[in-house]
Amino acid sequence: MRQSTIHSFSILMITGILSCCFTKTEGRRLSSIRRMYTPTNSKPDTVNQNQSSPNGTEGCHKSRLYAGTAVDKPYLYDNQEYIKIVKKDFKFMTPGNVMKWDATEKTQGNFTFADADAVVKFAKDNKKKVRGHTAVWHQQYSKYLEQLDPPALITATQNHIKTVLQHYKNDLYSFDVCNEVVGDDGNLRDSFWFKKLGDSYIEMAFQAAIDAGTKIKLYINDYGVEGPGAKTDTYYKIAQNLASKQILHGVGFQAHLIVGKVPSLEDLKATLKRFVDLGLEVAYTEVDIRIPLPPSQSDFIQQAKDFSTIVRACAETPKCKGVTVWGVGYNDSWVPGFYHNYGDALLFDDNYKPTLAFTSFENALKGNYTQ
């Protein structure tokens, strides 16, 4: 994602974008609006409004698809409602921040895995699988990298990737080696990595991941590539090149989307199929569907349909492994801190109660899609 995931609000304060964030008073106002507009008696032929099952999506875990969520401090350690949901409703977990470069190797050669280890331990204790996230990204890298000349940067990158993957060699299902390498204009992102190393940095990073010698599935990950377009075409060419060298296993589609503007089911499936035809597995990795604030009843109904469409596209695409949402509830979403006057993008509300979108998501995992 373009911002620093679940704790983006605090990071935005550091980067001086506080003006885009809501005050506590505004937050309370928006919370009351959400409760006011949350549908309770929608038409049966429009959206299924049954309460979620007592077992949450655990029953859906028998589905071919996994349901996943991003997790992070402090919620996973001290919010009991959050913890209950993660345990009950999701089979996969993605560390939102604690496995990134600036969290694991803040100074060169000094690795700190305590916070990421805690997430992995929680996953193991609760029989979850972990998607690792991420190494090479244009944000949240350690600043010492900027002082290195190109040969030293290559060596540091290779060492970081190998060290992280070998540390978690028995713990991760997959790892996002490179994140958001394509710019919104459809060209390679003009990032720190690109300026220092040119386009070769992507292949170099994946080769380092292969050289780590683990069985972890290696993914590339990006947003704005869920449907057809110039950015998707560039993303495809990168994946095609990496796949031809047998150093890429999977492709992540973040799916940070806007309610009512999700690509059609046909476009979603056609895009996934392009990458599957390269011999790769695919997954939706950071899904949220943001709503303009204040929300309306029709927004929530449309959002429920949109979540169902995403799950359906994956379910109807061979080698699409699952759907991860980028956070648990509205309170731990990055969206309000980054998109002014948008929010309510996840499956649980401010009080971690299931929303209409959750019911639709749950039903879609069972093969019952909201039209």
- Which of 105, 226, 281, 286 is flagged as catalytic? 286
Between the CA of residue 195 and those of 41, 176, 177, what are the distances in Å?
A: 54, 21, 18
Task: State the DSSP code for 23.
Answer: P
The DSSP result for 135-186, as a single string, is: EE-SSS--GGGGGS-HHHHHHHHHHHHHHHHHHTTTT-SEEEEEE--B-TTS
- Sequence length of the chain is 371
286 among known catalytic residues: yes
Burial of 338 (0-12, 13-18, 19+ CB in 10 A): buried
CB 356 within 8 A of CB 47: yes
- Which of 105, 180, 281, 362 is flagged as catalytic? 180
Which residues, in sequence order, are bridge partners of residue 256?
A: 288
Token digits of residue 108: 């060169």
Task: Give residue 303's Cα distance to chain centre.
Answer: 18
d(CA 123, CA 130): 7
Residues acting as catalytic residues:
180, 286
